[in-house]
Amino acid sequence: MARERDQNLVLAERRTPTPMLGVAVVEDLVDAIVSGRLAPGDLLPPEGQLSEQFGVSRTVIRESVKRVEEKGLVTISRGRGTQVRPTSSWNTLDRVVLTSLIKHDESLAVLDELSVVRSQLESAMAAEAARARDDEQLVQLDEAMQRMRDTIDDQAAFRQADLDYHRLVMTISGNRLAESIARVLLDRALESWRYHGIDEPGAFNVTLNEHIAIHSAIADGDAVRAQAAMNVHILEAWRRRRQPAAEKPHDASAVSAVHQHRG
């Protein structure tokens, strides 16, 4: 049976009205659901209580709840209230939903899954890039690879060069759908200090060598080798950075401030 939770138990403190309130309300409602404070089958507090809680009009609440419904997290039923849906119904590629899933990913299970999916997508795109790249694109890849070599001793610049290389391979593949999904996954992951982890000594040199293997396969037009090399690189790079579940880096603020690619 659906349960109606006390809004004081599941939502943030009463808000002072600010610009973009609708966005803030959506993010807080999504967070309450993804975190488990509102469980599948629960009813959201009534519209009037939410309006008072957030300090916004009922119109803003109504529109915000509709946005949450569009993300697959709730079902709005006239006369029955708004009920939280099971996790299988959620749009996990939605920016707000995925950000919240990663935020509450204490076990790192979400990031583990994200890395596997990303490796599958990017390895397929690497194979397509090996088959499709022309001479001009190969020059672009050569230049991107050289930037990685040139910046090996500059942490921020190397990470950016790493990211640029991956994005270039995606673009050359011509698979726009795979590229779009992979970019969503990567962009959301980069917002989390958990995804950045801590680099082992010599990690950049290992990363560079893995990229050289990918690059060589694409340059040779060897789709099978390119796919295997990209798959190994992404999974191994995550394994190297992965910290024990719920263990925060010593300088988490510094890690989270650097939203750069980590392999």
At 183, the amino acid letter reads R
Residue 250 has pLDDT above 90, yes or no: no
Q: Are strands 81-84 and 74-77 parallel, antiparallel or unpaired?
A: antiparallel
H helix intervals, 133-202: 135-150, 155-173, 176-189, 193-196
pTM reported for the whole predicted model: 0.80
Rounded CA-CA distance 252/17 in Å is: 30
**Phi-psi category of residue 246: left, alpha or beta, with phi > 0 → left and psi -120 to 50 → alpha:** left
Confidence of residue 26 (pLDDT cuts 50, 70, 90): very high
| Percentage above 70 pLDDT, the chain | 85
Task: Please give the C-alpha separations between residue 96 and each of 12, 114, 230, 242, in angstroms, as whole numbers.
Answer: 17, 15, 28, 23
Is the distance from CB of 138 to CB of 144 less than 8 angstroms?
no
Token pair, residue 21, equals 């309130």
Q: Contact, 121 vs 220, CB < 8 A?
A: no
- Domain range list for the chain: 3-89, 105-257
Question: What's the rounded Cα separation, in Å, for the pair 100 and 122?
Answer: 24
Q: Mind listing the pLDDT tens digit for each residue in 75-118?
A: 999 888 999 999 999 999 999 999 999 999 989 999 999 999 99
Q: Largest Cα–Cα distance of the chain, in whole Å? A: 64
Pick the CATH number of 105-257 from 3.10.20.30, 3.30.160.40, 1.20.120.530, 1.10.1660.10: 1.20.120.530
Per the document, the length of the chain is 263
CATH number of 3-89: 1.10.10.10
Residue 148: both structure tokens together: 């990685």
| Spatial contact of 176 and 87, defined as CB atoms under 8 Å apart | no
User: pLDDT tens digits for 192-242?
Assistant: 888 887 777 789 999 999 999 999 999 999 999 999 999 999 999 999 988
Any idea of the CA torsion for 252, 15, 51, 5, to the nearest 10 degrees?
Answer: 50
Q: Are 3-89 and 105-257 in the same CATH fold?
A: no
